[in-house]
Structure 1
């Protein structure tokens, strides 16, 4: 059908409008595209250039240098040494198996290390460097660098690794570091990206662990350019991290080495405190272990030997051990009774060798008894019956209160692993913890440091320090952090009657310096250096009435695990106290025979700052001491060079 001229014109107008609209839309799209291209190519060129660069630029973390640890004289006791290692980045390596095969043809790598590294790479992100082997020689590193083109993803690096120059002598205090593990990550709340670096070392025990954040520092970064194969082409820039802070401890490493040597052959702990400021001069536990073995990766044999040793070398007995304090607790009972006014200074108690309490017989160590005895004689001769009597008068709550005032039953705040709180029991404790009523027999047992009472060598040294000074001496282990002095542990007055303290001190003096004193054989003869102290022997087994009637079995005739613990606390010089110390010998037998001689030797070493003159010892001991000094001095490095603090 033929269209009319009007229809043709209408149709043409409609097509023209549509063409104009479509043309306008197309022109607009082209304009927007043009504008966007201009914006991207000119105005945003720098931004897109950076994004493009980031496709070929990697950012790697730089582990900071771990802070160093020094003794009080500036001698390094936890240092850093260079460590050459080889690392692999999985996403840059391509065929991992082939690359590792080439690597092992160049350097000798333990197959166990390769297996561990392969497992590590499967667990980590592909861009995280994984250590294949460390502690390589410079020759190995040179071989790897020469063959870099055939080893994609492989890099030889130099880092720092921890080393402990004093070895076992400071192991329990300083502790050790080791590679961060999945277990570490699961138990600590720390988002520091450094912890994601495989084989990054963190503190595992001792001060290394408790002061981890202070010693660790913060990470640095480096930007490196890589080619299409992932091989490093050049380092674009580097921002060094912040090194960890250096720490100076209060310990005297020479005295510490002497104490460790003197405890050799024992399962024991000893603590020496400076009475002026609470500084811990020595904190020793025996036997010990070499912390360097843990840093380098301890062998299965060495680990088994440490774990299976009945003397528990991994245990820091000086601070972790909790023992019945035995007769060293008698000063607590005496001070509590005198402060409560339930006993007069010269009042005597009759000791027939036992005390009957509601039909139960509590024995004195001296079978025939001490007769009429007062405070002074009771401490000097360590009579038990005197304390059985006065404890019933004063009661356990006041005894526990005095114990805590003197530093027992409280956890001292030190950067060490598992510091023991010990136990100064009272009625409320037994009701809450045991669900039982406190009995008078419990009080009698506690009066001589048996029953529920527990104390660590650290706490016993604090006890002696506070009696010697009348002040709340607080143990201090950190002297300086990056050169900044830490608060003193000198302490304020305990508020105990000074006359009462003088009586107790005088009694402790006679323990060591009177012929009838229990530690007379371990006295110090040097004028002006006399030592005051108290022996202690704590039972670890019950003596039955039948055994007592037949004769108590001697310690040396018992298996080691069933022998009594030997304890001794002391301070010196008596007239002007400078140091307090404690010694606990596990299953050592009597405090006078096993612990007191060790304490006397340690005290003299502290007072003289080295080997004392033989004239300071009783004449009968001098030949033995001369041989002992030669043997022990051979272990002590002659004048270790100190390093200045930052």
Structure 2
């Protein structure tokens, strides 16, 4: 049917409007798309470029080199040594079980390490390396390298690990490092990223732990290019980290080795303190352990053996151990009475062998008593009754205050684990801790270093150094940090009456040099190095009235853990003190027989700086000392050989 021109004109108008509308919609869409593309490509270009770069470039941490530790003479005590390890990349290995089987036929693999590695592989992405064996020797590395075609995914690597060339000699001072554990991380509020590097080592105990912030250093970083799956393709650049600080200690490695050998396998400790500077020249604790075992990963059996040993090798007895100081405390009681003007050096007390206090007898160690004794005689012969009497006059509060002035009951600021405060009790302490009133019998016990009174070998050495010098000598362990000398511990004057101080020193000199002194048998013969000292024997059990009536059981007839502790403190030379020494032998019996000879030998070794001549010893001791010196020399050669092997 033929349409008239009017209809055609109307249809044309409708089509035109529709075309315009559609064209407008298309134009608007194209315009919006163009604007969006401009926004993304121009306005947001920097943001998307950054996102693309982060997806392509990864930042990897580079572990820092741990700082070294040296003794005062520059001998290495802790260092870093190349450590060879074997890692596996699961996706490159294919049949992991077969590869591990092939590897185990070449080198010995620890089952515990294998279990740990397999667990880690299951948790980790397949392209990340997992350590199979650490601390392996060069021969094993060579075997793996030669057989590389049969070991797909296996790669030998080299890193750094901590080594202690002196082994057990410094275990209780330096401590040791070990891999970061989940427990370590849980103790930190915001752990540094470097601590999450697999097998990264941190200090666990001792100086290594307490100066972790200095020794660890700062991690470096490297930029690596990775593909879409996260595998490293190439290294773009790197920024090396900052190594940890090197620490030089005040200790003398040779003197420390001598002390450890001299203490032998006794449960004992010894401290040598420089009277002029407060430098800790040695801190022995016996028996000890090899810290290298912990770095490599100690076995369960070995660790259980250390934990269950009744001699407690893991404890640093020189600073952690606290003991009743026994008669080594009597100088403090005497000083409290002298300073208070309650006695004079020539005042005497009668000792019948006991003192009646509130209906209870407090006995002297000498059953028949000492008769009339003055201060010097009481200290020389270690009369207990004299000090019971003094204590009742002066009171516990003044005795406690005097003890703290001489370093007992004070936690000395040293970078070591669990430094003990000890205890110098007073009336308020007993009421606060035990909810009980202080008794006069408590004062009598405290006067001779028994009862609640407790001190560490470190505190006893500090006490002795302060008596010797009249200054507040403070122990110092770190001599320098990266070559920067640390403050001295020489201290300020104690502000004690010098006449009273000289009285105490003369009495201590008589202990070691008067024929009736309790340490006369362990004296030093060399006039230039004459020693002043004090013996101590502290009880660890109560002696009943029935036992006293029947005769007190001898220490050697008791089980080891019920025997008395043996103590001795000393300084020399008497007229110009250089070193103060304290020795504690747990359950060793008498201080004069067990501890005094050890302390004398240690003091002579420190004074001479080498093996002392036999003429410095009493004639009766020279054959024994000669045999001892020869044995210690052989042990030193053995230790040096083992130490060079570790290094």
TM-score normalized with structure 1 length: 0.92
Compared CA separation, residues 379 and 38, structure 1 to 2 (3 A): closer
Structure 1 residue 485, shift from structure 2 partner: 0.8
Q: Secondary structure at the match of 1:636?
A: helix
1:26 maps to 2:34: no
| More displaced stretch, 572-581 vs 27-36 | 27-36
The whole-number CA distance in structure 1 between the counterparts of 2:162 and 2:541 is 44
Compared CA separation, residues 347 and 34, structure 1 to 2 (3 A): closer
Compared CA separation, residues 114 and 468, structure 1 to 2 (3 A): same
1:325 maps to 2:325: yes
Structure 1 residue 67, shift from structure 2 partner: 0.7
Contact 2:614 2:626 in 1 (8 A): yes
1:481-522: CA deviation from partner (whole Å, max 9, x where unpaired):
111111111100111111100000000000000001000000
The whole-number CA distance in structure 1 between the counterparts of 2:418 and 2:323 is 15
Compared CA separation, residues 540 and 34, structure 1 to 2 (3 A): closer
The whole-number CA distance in structure 1 between the counterparts of 2:305 and 2:511 is 41
The whole-number CA distance in structure 2 between the counterparts of 1:100 and 1:226 is 27
Structure 1 residues without counterparts, runs of 5 or longer: none
1:442-497: CA deviation from partner (whole Å, max 9, x where unpaired):
00000000000000100000000000011000000000111111111110011111
1:292 maps to 2:295: no
Partner of 2:267: 267
Give the alignment of 1:546-625 within 5 angstroms: 546-625=546-625
Structure 1 residue 623, shift from structure 2 partner: 1.0
Contact 2:69 2:246 in 1 (8 A): yes
1:39-77: CA deviation from partner (whole Å, max 9, x where unpaired):
49xx95x98677556545543322111111100000001
Compared CA separation, residues 78 and 637, structure 1 to 2 (3 A): farther
Partner of 1:343: 343
Partner of 2:377: 377
Structure 1 residue 23, shift from structure 2 partner: 3.3
Contact 2:127 2:231 in 1 (8 A): no
1:169-221: CA deviation from partner (whole Å, max 9, x where unpaired):
11100111111111111223451112112211111111111111111111122
| More displaced stretch, 124-133 vs 449-458 | 124-133
Give the alignment of 1:422-441 within 5 angstroms: 422-441=422-441
Give the alignment of 1:44-193 within 5 angstroms: 44=45, 55=55, 57-88=57-88, 100=100, 104=104, 108-122=108-122, 129-138=129-138, 140-141=140-141, 155-193=155-193
Compared CA separation, residues 118 and 440, structure 1 to 2 (3 A): same
Q: Secondary structure at the match of 2:518?
A: coil
Compared CA separation, residues 61 and 456, structure 1 to 2 (3 A): same
Compared CA separation, residues 265 and 9, structure 1 to 2 (3 A): closer
The whole-number CA distance in structure 2 between the counterparts of 1:555 and 1:147 is 64
Partner of 2:513: 513
Q: Secondary structure at the match of 2:84?
A: strand
Give the alignment of 1:426-575 within 5 angstroms: 426-575=426-575
Q: Secondary structure at the match of 2:528?
A: coil
Compared CA separation, residues 222 and 312, structure 1 to 2 (3 A): same
Q: Secondary structure at the match of 2:430?
A: helix
Contact 2:468 2:571 in 1 (8 A): yes
Compared CA separation, residues 19 and 168, structure 1 to 2 (3 A): same
Contact 2:351 2:386 in 1 (8 A): yes
The whole-number CA distance in structure 2 between the counterparts of 1:619 and 1:139 is 55
Contact 1:77 1:165 in 2 (8 A): yes
1:118-173: CA deviation from partner (whole Å, max 9, x where unpaired):
22344567776532211234455456567778877654321111111111111100
Compared CA separation, residues 640 and 292, structure 1 to 2 (3 A): closer
The whole-number CA distance in structure 2 between the counterparts of 1:6 and 1:228 is 63
Contact 1:364 1:384 in 2 (8 A): yes
Compared CA separation, residues 437 and 338, structure 1 to 2 (3 A): same
Contact 1:152 1:230 in 2 (8 A): no
Give the alignment of 1:387-402 within 5 angstroms: 387-402=387-402
| More displaced stretch, 630-639 vs 492-501 | 630-639
Q: Secondary structure at the match of 1:581?
A: strand
| More displaced stretch, 471-480 vs 338-347 | 338-347
Q: Secondary structure at the match of 2:480?
A: strand
Q: Secondary structure at the match of 1:204?
A: strand
Structure 1 residue 35, shift from structure 2 partner: 3.8
Contact 1:278 1:488 in 2 (8 A): yes
| More displaced stretch, 207-216 vs 511-520 | 207-216
Partner of 2:18: 15
The whole-number CA distance in structure 1 between the counterparts of 2:568 and 2:15 is 119
Contact 1:464 1:570 in 2 (8 A): yes
Partner of 2:239: 239
Contact 1:395 1:443 in 2 (8 A): yes
1:310-367: CA deviation from partner (whole Å, max 9, x where unpaired):
1111111111111000001101101011111122221111111100011100001111
The whole-number CA distance in structure 2 between the counterparts of 1:124 and 1:333 is 65
1:202-249: CA deviation from partner (whole Å, max 9, x where unpaired):
111111111111111111222334567866543322221111111011
Compared CA separation, residues 334 and 57, structure 1 to 2 (3 A): same
Q: Secondary structure at the match of 1:78?
A: strand
| More displaced stretch, 14-23 vs 346-355 | 14-23
Structure 1 residue 112, shift from structure 2 partner: 2.5
The whole-number CA distance in structure 1 between the counterparts of 2:459 and 2:392 is 25
Contact 1:75 1:640 in 2 (8 A): no
The whole-number CA distance in structure 1 between the counterparts of 2:34 and 2:346 is 111
The whole-number CA distance in structure 1 between the counterparts of 2:55 and 2:126 is 15
Compared CA separation, residues 157 and 223, structure 1 to 2 (3 A): farther
1:17-41: CA deviation from partner (whole Å, max 9, x where unpaired):
413421321331453366468649x
Contact 2:522 2:596 in 1 (8 A): yes
Compared CA separation, residues 442 and 30, structure 1 to 2 (3 A): closer
Contact 1:216 1:243 in 2 (8 A): yes
1:507-546: CA deviation from partner (whole Å, max 9, x where unpaired):
0000000001000000001011000000000001111111
Contact 1:92 1:229 in 2 (8 A): no
The whole-number CA distance in structure 1 between the counterparts of 2:639 and 2:316 is 27
Contact 2:266 2:585 in 1 (8 A): yes
| More displaced stretch, 6-15 vs 254-263 | 6-15
